A and B are shown apart, each in its own frame.
Chain A
Amino acid sequence: MIELLGIEEKTYTLNLGPQHPSTHGVLRVVLEMNGEFITKAEPVIGYGHRGHEHMAENRNYTQFLPNMGRVDYLHALAYNQCYCMAVEKLLDIKVPERAEVIRVMTNELNRITSHLLWFGAYLMDLGAFTPFLYCFDDREQILDLLDRITGSRLTYCYYRFGGVPTDIDDDFVAGCRAFVSRLRSRWADYDNLVTKNVIFINRTRGVGIITREQCVKYGITGPNLRGSGIPYDIRKSEPYSAYPWFDFEIPIGSNGDIFDRYVVRLAEMEQSLRIIEQACNKLPDGPIMAEKVPKRIKPPVGEVYQAVETARGEFGMYIVSQGDVKPYRIKLRTPSFANMSFFPEMAVDNLVADLVANLGSIDVVIPEIDR
Chain B
Amino acid sequence: MLKDNLTNALASLNLEKVAEGDYAKTGYHLEVAAQPAQMPDVAQAMLAAGCFLESFTAVDLRETFDLVYHFASFDELCRTAVHVPLGKKKGMPTISHIYPGADWYEREVFDLFGIHFFNHPNLKRLLLPEDADFHPLLKDFGASQGND
A316–B127 contact, CB under 8 A?
no
Chain B, range 38-94, C-beta contacts under 8 Å to A: 47, 50-55, 57, 59-60, 68, 70, 72, 74-75, 77, 79, 81
Question: With a CB–CB cut-off of 8 A, which chain B residues contact A302?
Answer: 25-26
Interface: A128 (CB within 8 A): no
**In the complex, what's the smallest C-beta–C-beta distance from A310 to chain B, in angstroms?**
14
Which residue of chain B lies nearest to A239 when distances are taken between CB atoms in the complex? Answer: B77
Residues of B98-148 whose CB lies within 8 A of A = 99-101, 103-104, 112, 125-129, 136-137, 141, 143
Chain B residues with Cβ below 8 Å from A216 are 47, 50-52, 74
Q: Which residues of A contact B47 (CB under 8 A)?
A: 216-217
Best-buried of A218, A306, A345 by chain B (most CB within 10 Å): A218
User: If A45-B127, A302-B25 touch, does A316 touch B52 (CB 8 Å cutoff)?
Assistant: no
A341 proximal to B (CB < 8 A): yes
Q: Chain A, interface size: which category?
A: 35 or more
In the complex formed, the residue of B with least CB distance to A46 is B127
Cβ-defined contact, A219 with B25, below 8 A: no
In the complex, are the beta carbons of B103 and A51 less than 8 A apart?
A: no
- How close is A349's CB to chain B, nearest CB, in angstroms? 16
Query: Mostly helix, strand, loop or mixed at chain A's interface?
Result: mixed
Residues of A within 8 A of B137 (CB): 53-54, 57, 329
| A residues 292-335 touching B (CB-CB < 8 Å) | 302-307, 314, 316, 318, 320, 328-329, 331, 333
| Given A46-B126, A318-B68, A219-B53 contact (CB < 8 Å) | yes
Give the shortest distance, in Å, between B135 (CB) and chain A (any CB). Answer: 10
**Does A215 sit at the interface, judged by CB under 8 A?**
yes
Residues of A within 8 A of B28 (CB): 305
Contact B104 A46 (CB under 8 A): no
Set B26, B52, B128: member contacting A215, Cβ < 8 A: B52
Q: Chain B interface: which size bin?
A: 35 or more
Contact of A225 among B59, B72, B74, B103 (CB under 8 A): B74
Q: How far is the CA of A331 from the CA of B126 in the complex (A)?
A: 16
Nearest residue, chain A, Cβ from B142: A58
The digit string for A344-358, where 1 denotes a CB below 8 A from any CB of B, is: 010000000000000
Known: A216-B52, A314-B54. A307 touches B127 (CB 8 A): no
B27 contacts A305, CB within 8 Å? yes
A370 close to chain B: CB less than 8 A: yes
Evaluate contact between B103 and A232: CB separation under 8 angstroms.
Answer: no
Q: Given A216-B47, A341-B103, check contact A304 B127 (CB 8 Å).
A: no
User: Does chain B have a CB within 8 A of A185?
Assistant: no
Q: Mark A231-253, 1 if CB is under 8 A from B, else 0.
A: 01000011000000000000000
Question: A77 interface residue, CB < 8 Å from B?
Answer: no
Q: Do residues A304 and B25 form an inter-chain contact, with CB atoms below 8 A?
A: yes
The minimal Cβ–Cβ distance linking A156 to chain B, given in whole angstroms, is 24
B124 to chain A, nearest CB (A): 10
Question: A316 CA to B141 CA in the complex, in Å?
Answer: 25
Given A49-B128, A89-B27, A237-B77, the answer on whether A218 and B70 have CB atoms closer than 8 Å is: no
The answer for the CA separation of A45 and B108 in the assembled complex, in Å, is 11
Query: Nearest 4 CB-CB pairs, A to B?
Result: A333-B55, A218-B101, A46-B127, A305-B27
Sample of 16 further A-B pairs with CB below 8 A, known A53-B137, A216-B50: A49-B128, A89-B25, A215-B74, A217-B99, A217-B100, A218-B52, A218-B100, A218-B101, A230-B74, A238-B77, A307-B27, A314-B54, A331-B55, A333-B70, A341-B103, A341-B104
Q: Which residues of A contact B (CB under 8 A)?
A: 45-46, 49, 51, 53-54, 57-58, 89, 215-219, 225, 230, 232, 237-238, 302-307, 314, 316, 318, 320, 328-329, 331, 333, 337-338, 341-342, 345, 370-371
Q: Can you list 21 residue pairs at the A/B interface with Cβ under 8 Å?
A: A49-B128, A215-B52, A216-B51, A217-B100, A218-B100, A218-B101, A225-B74, A305-B26, A305-B79, A307-B27, A307-B54, A316-B70, A329-B57, A329-B60, A331-B55, A331-B57, A333-B55, A338-B104, A341-B103, A341-B104, A345-B100
B residues near A (Cβ < 8 Å) are 25-28, 47, 50-55, 57, 59-60, 68, 70, 72, 74-75, 77, 79, 81, 99-101, 103-104, 112, 125-129, 136-137, 141, 143
